[in-house]
Amino acid sequence: MKSSESTPAAAATRSHWGLLIALMLPVGMATMNMSMFGVALPTVRDAFEVEADMTAWLLAAYSLPFVIFMPLYGKLGDSLGKARLFQSGIVFFFAGSVICVLAGSLPQLLIGRVLQGMGTAGYYPLCIAIIAERFPAGQRGRAMGTWSSVAPGAATLGPLLGGFAVDNFGWNYVFVPSLLIALIALWAAYLRVPSQRPIRGEGLQAFDWLGAALLGGALVFTIFYLSSRTVTGVEPLRDWRLLAAAVGLGLLFWRREGRIPRPLVNFSLYRRKNFGVASLAAGCRMVIMHTAMFLNVLFLTDVYGLDAIELGIFTTIFSGAIFATTQVGGQLSDRVHCRWLVGGSFAVMISALAGLALFPLPLLGAAALMLTQSLGGGVAMAALHRAAMEEIPTEESGSAAGLYSTARFGGGVVGATIAGVALQQALLFTPGPGEAYRLVFGGVAAISLASLAVAWRLER
């Protein structure tokens, strides 16, 4: 009798974890590709002879559409079905990877990166929403931690593959593995992530397309303002036309969202304290992490002279550290107050950045601090995911996950962009690259102290 009663539960458990594996595949694919491209970044920079602020655009071309399209995927997922849009994201990523493999010029590479970013926008919010919707509360923290760990896990493999591809074939080949994995991920999604709702045409008709355009425009002009030299030729933070456009579009978006019955952004979600605070904290975390990731690979190349394979080895170690602590953080998030997990994570990362700023270290010393950054960065991930989604109703899970992911990865776009601009300016006014990098590391550490106050406002 006991055996027969446990069979349905065991089958349900197998179904849940089969679903989780299908959700992990495209996220692992995108992360591995991103880590492989990170190793290739110095080579791509030199191949196209671009400066530090333009180098940041090689990351922003991926991250900006990623951030812009996440609210669209999330909102449309609530009406059209999360599974269908999840699968469409894989198709977009595949198309972008094909263009990147064949790219022979900087514009072609940027177009491919844009399509990759549009595709990845469907994975993160919809995965979080699907887990929150289909996993029971007692398993949700563990599921979030396991799903979150696939990104740093895949990133441990990507740098070595990337370094090997760059040194032996060329930077274009860092995109080749994504083509095969995308096909496998699409098949797994078809089998394991079935759609649970019919397509409703009124969902498309009632969608806030104008709001989406206004939000996208505001985000684009904000990044243009932060890195204006590569766009309009005006020094960063001085082209007031771009700032005016960003502010104007942002105000129009905010005004519109308060007046229509089905807005793109439901601002009432932010009345749930943990959702708003967790979204802001996730954005702060990504500012710190993406700034560090952007600076670290260039720092190791320009100051210590590492080649692509050596850079891949170090980056693999850092990614492995994030993988390990993400697993631990996922398990702790079911038992420990998220305030302590997130605040401790931020404190460790900020301390490591301060160490890189204050001390001219040998290679192994700098690498040890970068490893410390990575260990601290993984702890907070699952706790923030859970805190953000814990009080969200199922019918709004897609929208909420889209907004949360936009705040989270928007921090990454802003962080990398500002780091590129700051580095370019520091290189002009310091006697050598070592001093320039230390100046930027110090500035990031000082600004990031505000994130500790955000983490303290999280509630259980």
pLDDT of residue 198: 55
Q: Which of 36-45, 324-333, 376-385 is the least confident region? A: 324-333
More confident residue, 397 or 284: 284
Give the number of C-alpha atoms closer than 13 A to the C-alpha of residue 320, restricted to the C-beta side. 10
Integer Cα distance of 13 and 136 in angstroms: 10
CATH class as words, domain 2-189+264-456: mainly alpha
Q: Quick check: 279 pLDDT over 70?
A: yes
Torsion 136-85-388-34 (CA) sign: positive
Radius of gyration of the chain (CA): 21
pLDDT of residue 13: 59
Q: Which of 118, 128, 66, 111 is nearest to 290 (CA)?
A: 66
pLDDT digits (tens, 9 = 90+) for 213-272: 998 899 889 888 887 877 788 887 789 999 999 999 999 999 998 888 888 777 777 777
Query: End-to-end alpha-carbon separation of the chain, Å?
Result: 39
pLDDT digits (tens, 9 = 90+) for 179-218: 999 999 999 888 877 665 555 555 566 678 888 899 889 9
pLDDT of residue 4: 44
pLDDT of residue 200: 56
Give me the helices (H) in 227-307, please. 240-257, 273-302
Contacts 24+ apart (CB under 8 A), 241-249: 245/217, 245/221, 246/218, 246/221, 246/222, 247/218, 249/214, 249/215, 249/217, 249/218, 249/221
Rounded to an integer, what is the distance from CA 351 to the centroid of its chain? 22
pLDDT winner (highest mean) among 79-93, 131-145, 172-186: 172-186
Please state, rounded to an integer, the average pLDDT across all residues of the chain: 84
pLDDT of residue 14: 61
Q: Quick check: 345 pLDDT over 90?
A: yes
More confident residue, 457 or 206: 457
Q: Quick check: 2 pLDDT over 50?
A: no
